[in-house]
Amino acid sequence: MDNLESIISIKNLRMSYGDKNVLKGINLEIPRGQIIGYIGTNGAGKSTTIKIMLGILEGYEGKVEILGQDISNGSVEYKKKIGYVPELADIYENLTAFEYISFLGGIYELEQGKLIERAEKLMKLFGIEGAIYSRISSYSKGMKQKFLIICSLIHNPDILFFDEPLSGLDANSVMIFKEVMSNLSKDGKTIFYSSHIMDVVEKVSDRIVLINNGEIEADGSFEDLRNAKKESSLEEIFNQITGFNDHGRIAKEFVSLVEEV
C-alpha cells in the first residue's frame, strides 16, 4: 500500500439511533501517516464514528474500509492492526496489568513473554513501573490512562484511534504523549485523534475535521482553516463554525441561578 492510498476510507456514512440521525453522510479519505484531529460539539457523533470504524457498532449505512478491507465483510483481521484508547474505559479492573497484557497477547496472538517485557519497559517510561502486578482497580486515574495508552500500542498497530486520550494525564505526561504521537506518525502510523482540548488538537494534527449537525463542516490543516475562517485559534474557529458566541450570557445566567439560594 503506497502513501497515497487511503488507510481509512469512509463513504457516505450515516448512523441513526431510533429517530435521531447522528451521522448524515460523512466522507473521509485518510492516507497513511496522517494525524487527524476529529472535533465537534458534545454529542456531535465523534465516538459513534470511531466505534463504527472499530467494528463495535453496527447498523450504519455507507461504506467503511480500513486497510483496504470493507469492515462489514465479517473479517476481524484488520482489528489486529488497530489500537484504541476509549473515551470511557471498560477495562477489566479486577485484573492486574500483567494479567491484562497476557490476555491481550492471546487476542493478538503475540508471544506473551515479549509483550510483558515491552509493557514493563513502556510502563517505566511513563513512570508507572512497579504497578504491573497490582490490580488495575487500585490505579489512580492518570495511571489507568497511561496503562490504556500502553495497551493501545502494545501490538505495534498501524492505526490508532484516540478518543480523549489525555484525560487525567499530568502536564509532563501530556508532553510525552504529544511527542509519541508525532514520532508514530513519522513512522507511518495513522492517528485518528478526537478531543475537546483545542490547543492540543491545533498543535498535533496534520488535518482537522470538524463535524457539526452530523456533517463535516471543515476539513483541512490548521493553516487552511485559519485562513478560511479569519480566526487565529482553533477554539475561535470552533466557536464560529458551531455558531456559538453566547458563553458570556450563559455563564452570567448560570452564576445568578447558583447564587439565587
Ligand X SMILES: Nc1ncnc2c1ncn2[C@@H]1O[C@H](COP(=O)(O)OP(=O)(O)OP(=O)(O)O)[C@@H](O)[C@H]1O
Backbone φ and ψ for 24, nearest 5 degrees, come out as: -115, 35
Which residue, 46 or 207, is less far from ligand X as judged by CB? 46
**Total residues belonging to the chain:** 261
Q: Does 42 bind ligand X (CB under 6 A)?
A: yes
Q: How, if at all, do strands 190-194 and 207-212 pair?
A: unpaired
Tell me 6's DSSP state.
E
Helix, strand and coil content of the chain, in percent to the nearest 5, comes to 40, 25, 35
Output the smallest distance, CB 130 to ligand X, in A: 33
Q: DSSP E strands: which ranges in the chain? A: 6-17, 20-31, 35-40, 61-66, 69-70, 82-85, 159-163, 190-194, 207-212, 215-220
Using the rule CB under 6 A, is 87 a contact of ligand X?
A: yes
Compute the least distance from the CB of residue 195 to ligand X, in Å.
Answer: 9
State yes or no: residue 86 binds ligand X (CB under 6 A).
no
Question: Is residue 90 near ligand X by the rule CB under 6 A?
Answer: no
* Residue 40 is a binding residue for ligand X (CB under 6 A): yes
- Of the candidate residues 7, 30, 44, 169, the single one contacting ligand X (CB under 6 A): 44
Could you give phi then psi for residue 196, rounded to 5 degrees?
-100, 0
Nearer to ligand X, 19 or 187 (CB): 19
Closer to ligand X by CB, 23 or 101: give it. 23
Q: Does 52 bind ligand X (CB under 6 A)?
A: no
Say whether residue 195 binds ligand X (CB under 6 A): no
Q: Which three cell numbers stand for residue 84?
A: 484504541
Position among 6, 13, 32, 48 found at the interface with ligand X (CB under 6 A): 48
> Looking at 5, 43, 68, 140, which residue binds ligand X (CB under 6 A)?
43
Q: Which is nearer to ligand X, 21 or 182 (CB)?
A: 21
Q: What angle do CA 64, 105, 54 make, to 5 degrees?
A: 15
Residues of this chain that interact with ligand X (CB under 6 A) are 17, 22, 40, 42-48, 87
